[in-house]
Homo-oligomer: A and B are copies of this chain.
Amino acid sequence: MASVNMELVKKLREISGAGMMDCKNALEEAEGDIDKAFTILREKGIAKAGKRAGRSTGQGVVEAYLHQLGDDFPPQVGVLIEVNCETDFVAKGEDFRKMARELALQVAAASPRWVSREEVPDDVLVSERTVYEAKAALDGKPEQVIPKIVENQIESFLKENCLLEQPYWREPKTSVQDYIALHISKLQENIVVRRFARFNVREA
């Protein structure tokens, strides 16, 4: 068996949130390539996570994050997030709370407006679509390609504004959804971000 650099295992654990043995195995399988190992973990995690989707999540935790620009500044950006799981055993665990805190940081840093694309109100999509159509027409795009352009822009809009589809800030090659899937796989419970709030004093 190839020997695996413990520094790499530690780093992979940090970015993936996965367990020690899973990280070690993935790194061995990837012959020490941390990017490959992360992809292996993620694919395994997502596969396992899929089986747990839809299971009832009545427990959970509320976490907060306040962002200060400097020592003598009061916090002017704040995030509150509720993350649910199946049992209070998992809710009490350090791994789960750490994940919830990471997600609060994600919301602070990346300013999502909704948890998932299912939550985006129809009138927002209609108004975005109208703007993209008008823009494409003004740019002189041929009429037959406009629907495709508009759909691509809607897709980008959703990826930018829905928490679960955003790139995870600590590991931008993976989505927030996949970061959560790694924890579903590790903790063996369904995990759901129920809601969040983000307040910024500077925003009108």
Contact = CB atoms under 8 A, between A and B. Distances in A.
B92 A80 contact: no
Contacts of A194: 199
B78 A80 contact: yes
Contacts of A195: 199
A91 interface: yes
Interface string A171-203: 000000000000000000000001101011100
Contacts of A92: 72-74
A61 B64 CA distance: 15
A62 B91 contact: no
A86 interface: no
A113 to B, nearest CB: 14
A127 B199 CA distance: 30
Contact of A78 (B62, B84, B91): B62
A76 B61 contact: yes
Interface string A3-20: 000000000000000000
A62 B84 contact: no
B201 A59 contact: yes
Contact of A82 (B72, B78, B81): B78
Interface in A30-66: 59-66
Nearest to A82: B199
24 contacts: A60-B76, A61-B76, A62-B66, A62-B75, A62-B199, A62-B200, A63-B66, A63-B75, A63-B78, A64-B64, A64-B65, A64-B66, A64-B80, A74-B92, A74-B97, A78-B80, A78-B82, A80-B197, A81-B199, A82-B199, A82-B201, A91-B201, A194-B199, A195-B199
Interface of A: 59-66, 72-82, 84, 91-92, 96-97, 194-195, 197, 199-201
